[in-house]
Each structure stands twice: as C-alpha cells, then as structure tokens.
C-alpha cells in the first residue's frame, strides 16, 4: 500500500478515477461485513449501477424532503423525551444522549415510522444491537471472519431481521431513497428477503455509524467552549428571526435547507469538529499498469493491483495549513462573516483542505444530509435547552480525545463519555 502524504498531490490522484478504483475495495469488504451477496455478481446484472443511482436521492433537490422529515422527527423526540418539566436540570452522558436522539431520528427519517405512524417499539433494543455490532466493525473490515467474533454473527442476524420486507412494507413515511432501493431489489428473484434486509441494514450503519459521533463532537466542543456556543446560538436566533428572550417551549421550530445554509458559524463549528475527529482513509485499487501523473510534470509508475491510499487526517493536523491544529476554533472556517476556503501548503492553495467524507468516487453520497442532520440537532439543542458540563470536576478533566482504534474508518468515537446536564430554556426565569 502506498500512502500519498502531500495534500497538494490529492487532485492528481483523485482525477485518475478510471485507473484508480474504490468500488473494487468496497465491493469486497461490505458484503463480508453486512452479510449480503456482492452486487457485482453475475447473478445480479445491473444491480450495482442501480444501487449507485439510488444515492442521487440523498443530494440536490431531493435533500429538501429529507431535511424536512428529519426536522419533524427531531422535534417529535425533543417534545416527547427532552422538554418535560419546568426548569428542572437532568443529568446525562453526552455520547449516550447524542446516540439516542440521532439514532432514532435518522431511523424514522430514512426508513419511516412504524405501522400507525408512531415510533418503533424495538428502537432501544435495535440501538443496543447496533452498538454491539459497531464495536466489532473494525475487525470485520480488517477481514476477521465473523464466526471468530463471539456472538457478533447472531447480533448481525437480529439486526438484519428488523428490515425484512414483510416488516418494512408496513412502515409509513419511508424516504424515497429507501423506497427506490426496495423497488430495485424486488426486480431480482435471486436476491432473497434476507439479502434485501442486509442491504437495508448496511444503509443503517452508513446513516448513523459516523453521524452519531459527528453529532457528539459538534455538541461537546460547543458545550466545552461557552464563547462558541453563545456565538452559534446568537447566529441561529438572527437567521430564524427569533428574539433570544422568546419562550419556545410551546412552539415547534422548522428549519429549511436554505436557513441551514445561512448558518455560517454553525457550519464552521461542525467542520472544525469534523477536522479534529475524522480519520477516513481513501483507498484506491490500481486497475491497470500506467504512469500516474503528479504535479510539476512528474509521474510515477504503478502496477495493476497496487493500492493507493490518502490519509487526510495528516493534512487536518498540519500546522502549516491550520494554525494550532490541535486547538478547537469554532470560526476557523469563516472570514469576515463568510465561508473561508483559502488554505495553503508550501505557499500554494489547496484544492482539498478538509476531507471528513472521502474524495472522488469514495466520497460519502450522504454527506450533505449528514451535515444537515447535525446542524438540525444542534439548532434544536441550542434553541430549546440549556446545556453545560455537569460539575467542576468534569470541567477540570483533560479534554476528550478521539479513540484511535477506529482510525481509517471515518469519525472516531470519544475515548470516554462526558457527564453533562440540561434543562428546557426558560427565558426570564
């Protein structure tokens, strides 16, 4: 495996989309991890192209309906679970808090609500199973057979059964994305019900496996930096034209995609937390012998079967690109109230400077929805709740660090959870 460490070379690597393929790697790893047959198999002609087409429903004008649905589901959970009582403090563990909210809201948004339009009764058990599977996921990606990982095979089987067609057909409000994939799978008689369910389970992992820790890091850094929290909250009130002394406990808030796009400081705060926590490895398999062009008319010979890897975390922590790279700066990606996009290496502008979602053919197709989800979660959190670290002892502890055991697989989990407390905001109390 050859690592490309100079970010100035990233555009040269990414442009070789035909000779450097990501899907060969993912097509080998994902079926083993999630338990479905390879989509590139001759048994399923055209299935891989159909699966790729379905991802378009996570972007462009289709994103608006997902954002609207996510907002409604987040509002539902805040109303049912978080806004009871008047001004009373509740304690919690921050990662568990983020996981509970984001897991269920995403499940309802992507797959739909249970029969009758309500919440899925099995959600707590499903989330527990998901967490147990997720802890073993790095080993599955590394090629460890699932039968060597204790009860992981049984856990995965139970997760897959949740998405069997006879169950999903009864759900309401299913996203167009999942509906299209379900219709696609029905066109293949050789694809069994368990295979179809396994594909849906894979999307569940893709939907929350990185979004939950991303939400945690965004929330943690804001709560740990009161100046950042105040600035982002002030921007939120300004964009929504809501007076800061207005009591929102009896009002539901809606945020459109256009309003989310106006939250420049929140976007910067989210990107900064992603910069500090993301550890994605961009892998490409060489498809043919060729001379790979680099900058300044240089080139290097590569052979079919070689593996080329980009590791953007080294760029994210480069002090030449980011001043004090280990320090959280919520407004790092803003300049004069606008988005900042000019970052440099060796005096040259970087085309790619923040890459939490991969690049080129391996770029996460749901990245826009993921960022919108995190911004919606933060928006409701700041509008409806007062949040703070729970005690002086917690505030005095060393900052939370990413757990490096998931290095290369996306957003890293925290090395410990954080105790915090929250209560409904009561302006004037």
Residue 10, pLDDT above cutoff 60: yes
Query: What pLDDT is attached to residue 220?
Result: 96
Residue 254 included in any domain: yes
Token pair recorded at residue 307: 């593996």
Residue 394, pLDDT above cutoff 70: no
Q: Which residues of 106-142 are buried (b: 16+ CB within 10 A; e: fewer)?
A: bbbbbbbbbeeeebbeebeebbebbebbbebbeebee
Residue 281 included in any domain: yes
Residue 395, pLDDT above cutoff 70: no
Residue 150 included in any domain: no
Q: Please report, for the domain that includes residue 312, its CATH number.
A: 1.10.630.10
385, β-bridge pairs? 424
291, β-bridge pairs? 301
Query: What pLDDT is attached to residue 116?
Result: 83
Contact status, residue 52 vs residue 22, Cβ threshold 8 Å: no
CA 246 to each of CA 184, 304, 384, 395: distance values in angstroms, whole numbers, following the listed order: 48, 63, 11, 29
pLDDT by residue (tens digit) across 415-426? 999 999 999 987
Of 412, 306, 274, the closest CA to residue 13 belongs to 306
Residue 428, pLDDT above cutoff 70: no
Residue 209, pLDDT above cutoff 70: yes
Q: What are phi and psi of 372, to 5 degrees?
A: -60, -40
Rounded Cα distance between 151 and 157, Å, is 10
- How many domains, in total, are found in the chain? 1
Q: What does the DSSP assignment read for 176-243?
A: HHHHHHHHHHHT-TTS-HHHHHHHHHHHHHHHHTTHHHHHHHHHHHHHH-HHHHHHHHHHHHHHHT--
The CA-CA-CA angle for residues 83, 118, 199, to 5°, reads 115
Residue 178 included in any domain: no
**pLDDT band at 71; cut points 50, 70, 90:** very high
Residue 183 included in any domain: no
- Is 237 exposed, middle or buried (CB count within 10 Å of its CB: 0-12, 13-18, 19+)? middle
Query: What pLDDT is attached to residue 160?
Result: 97
Q: What is the mean pLDDT of residues 122-144?
A: 94
pLDDT by residue (tens digit) across 279-305? 988 888 888 888 877 776 778 888 888
**pLDDT band at 361; cut points 50, 70, 90:** low
Residue 359, pLDDT above cutoff 60: yes
Structural domain containing residue 263: 2-26+63-116+207-424
Query: What pLDDT is attached to residue 272?
Result: 97
pLDDT by residue (tens digit) across 91-101? 999 999 999 99
Q: What is the mean pLDDT of residues 19-25?
A: 72
Q: What is the mean pLDDT of residues 386-408?
A: 81
Residue 266 included in any domain: yes
Sign of the CA dihedral running 344, 350, 354, 358: negative
**pLDDT band at 88; cut points 50, 70, 90:** confident
Query: What pLDDT is attached to residue 1?
Result: 78
**pLDDT band at 38; cut points 50, 70, 90:** confident
Residue 24, pLDDT above cutoff 70: no
Query: What pLDDT is attached to residue 281?
Result: 85
Residue 100 included in any domain: yes
Contact status, residue 285 vs residue 18, Cβ threshold 8 Å: no
Q: What is the mean pLDDT of residues 244-252?
A: 80
Query: What pLDDT is attached to residue 333?
Result: 97
CA 186 to each of CA 47, 55, 169, 209, 381: distance values in angstroms, whole numbers, following the listed order: 11, 18, 12, 27, 40
Token pair recorded at residue 63: 């994103």
Residue 46 included in any domain: no
Rounded Cα distance between 116 and 293, Å, is 57
Contact status, residue 358 vs residue 206, Cβ threshold 8 Å: no
Q: What is the mean pLDDT of residues 267-273?
A: 97
Residue 362, pLDDT above cutoff 60: yes
Of 379, 86, 100, 358, the closest CA to residue 212 belongs to 100
Query: What pLDDT is attached to residue 284?
Result: 83
Query: What pLDDT is attached to residue 86?
Result: 66
Among 15-19, 73-77, 370-374, name the one with the lowest average pLDDT.
Answer: 15-19
pTM over 0.75? The answer is yes
**pLDDT band at 377; cut points 50, 70, 90:** very high
Torsion of CA 97, 139, 359, 61, to 10 degrees: -50
Q: What is the mean pLDDT of residues 310-331?
A: 95
Contacts of residue 353, defined as CB under 8 A and 6 or more positions apart, other chains included, come to: 7, 315, 321, 341, 343
- H helix and E strand count, the chain: 17, 13
Q: What is the mean pLDDT of residues 393-418?
A: 83
């Amino acid at each position: 495996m050859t690592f490309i460490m100079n970010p100035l070379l990233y555009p040269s690597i990414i442009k070789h989309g035909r000779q450097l393929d990501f899907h060969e790697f993912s097509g080998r790893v994902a079926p083993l991890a999630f338990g479905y047959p390879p989509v590139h198999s001759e048994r399923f002609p055209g299935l891989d192209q159909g699966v790729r087409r379905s991802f378009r429903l996570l972007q462009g004008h289709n994103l608006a309906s997902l954002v609207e649905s996510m907002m409604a589901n987040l509002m539902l959970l805040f109303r049912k679970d978080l806004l009871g009582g008047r001004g009373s403090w509740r304690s919690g563990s921050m990662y568990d808090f983020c996981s509970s909210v984001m897991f269920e809201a995403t499940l309802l948004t992507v797959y739909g609500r249970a029969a009758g339009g309500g919440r899925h009764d099995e959600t707590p058990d499903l989330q527990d199973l998901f967490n147990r599977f997720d802890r073993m996921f790095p080993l599955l990606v590394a090629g460890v057979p699932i039968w060597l990982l204790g009860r992981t095979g049984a856990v995965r089987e139970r997760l897959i059964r949740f998405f069997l067609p006879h169950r999903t057909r009864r759900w309401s409000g299913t996203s167009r994305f999942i509906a299209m994939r379900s219709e696609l799978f029905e066109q293949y008689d050789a694809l069994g019900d368990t295979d179809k369910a396994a594909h849906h389970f894979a999307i569940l992992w893709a939907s929350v496996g990185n979004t939950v820790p991303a939400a945690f890091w965004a929330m943690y850094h804001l709560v740990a930096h009161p100046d950042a929290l105040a600035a982002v909250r002030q921007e939120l009130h300004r964009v929504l034209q809501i007076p800061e002394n207005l009591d929102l406990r009896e009002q539901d808030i809606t945020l459109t995609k256009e309003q989310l796009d106006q939250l420049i400081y929140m976007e910067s705060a989210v990107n900064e937390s992603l910069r500090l926590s993301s550890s994605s490895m961009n892998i490409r398999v060489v498809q043919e012998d060729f001379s790979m062009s680099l900058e300044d008319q240089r080139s290097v010979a590569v052979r079919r079967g070689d593996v080329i890897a980009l590791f953007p975390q080294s760029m994210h922590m480069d002090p030449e690109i980011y001043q004090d790279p280990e320090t959280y700066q919520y407004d790092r990606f803003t300049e004069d109230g606008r988005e900042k996009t000019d970052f440099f290496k060796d005096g040259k502008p970087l085309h790619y400077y923040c890459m939490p979602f991969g690049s080129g053919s391996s770029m996460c197709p749901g990245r826009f929805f993921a960022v919108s989800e995190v911004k919606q979660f933060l928006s409701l959190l700041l509008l409806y709740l007062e949040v703070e670290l729970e005690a002086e002892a917690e505030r005095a502890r060393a900052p939370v660090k990413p757990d490096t055991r998931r290095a290369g697989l996306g957003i890293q989990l925290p090395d410990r959870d954080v105790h915090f407390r929250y209560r409904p905001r009561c302006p004037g109390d």
